[in-house]
Amino acid sequence: MIYLIHLIRNLRKFIKYPLQFLNLLFSDLKKDRVNRTEKKDIQNILIIGLPKSGTTLIEWVLSEIGYVNMTTSCLRVFDDRKLEHPHNLSDDMLKNFPLNKPTFLKRHSEPNNLNLELIKKYNFKTIISFRNLKDVMISRYLHMITDKSLPQHDIYNKLNLTEGFKTSLIKNHLNTIPIQDVNNWIKNWKKEIESNKNFCELNYDDYNRNKEFYIKKLLNFLKVDSETLMNKIIEKHQKHLEIIKKNNLTENLNSISPQTYNRKKSSEIKKLLDNDAVNNFYKECVNKYCST
Q: Where are the domains of the chain?
A: 2-289
Residue type for position 173: H
Q: Could you give phi then psi for residue 63, rounded to 5 degrees?
A: -60, -40
| Residue 261 and residue 252 in contact, taking contact as beta carbons nearer than 8 Å | yes
Sign, CA torsion 274/277/281/287: positive
- Position 49 scores a pLDDT of 95
- Collapsing DSSP to helix, strand or coil, 291 comes out as coil
Closest CA relative to residue 153, chosen from 33, 260, 28: 260
- Position 265 scores a pLDDT of 62
Cβ-Cβ contacts under 8 Å for 103 (sequence gap 6 or more): 44, 45, 67, 68, 69, 70, 76, 97
- Position 254 scores a pLDDT of 60
| Residue 75 and residue 30 in contact, taking contact as beta carbons nearer than 8 Å | no
Specify the CATH superfamily of domain 2-289.
P-loop containing nucleotide triphosphate hydrolases (3.40.50.300)
User: What separation, in Å, do the N-terminal and C-terminal C-alpha atoms of the chain show?
Assistant: 46
Enclosing H/E stretch for 171: none
pLDDT in tens, 240-259: 777 777 765 555 556 666 66
pLDDT in tens, 89-106: 999 999 999 988 899 999
pLDDT in tens, 131-172: 999 889 988 888 888 888 888 888 898 898 889 999 999 999
Instruction: Determine how β-strand 199-203 pairs with β-strand 103-107.
Output: unpaired
Three-state SS letters, 135-168: HHHHHHHHHHHHCCCCCCHHHHHCCCHHHHHHHH
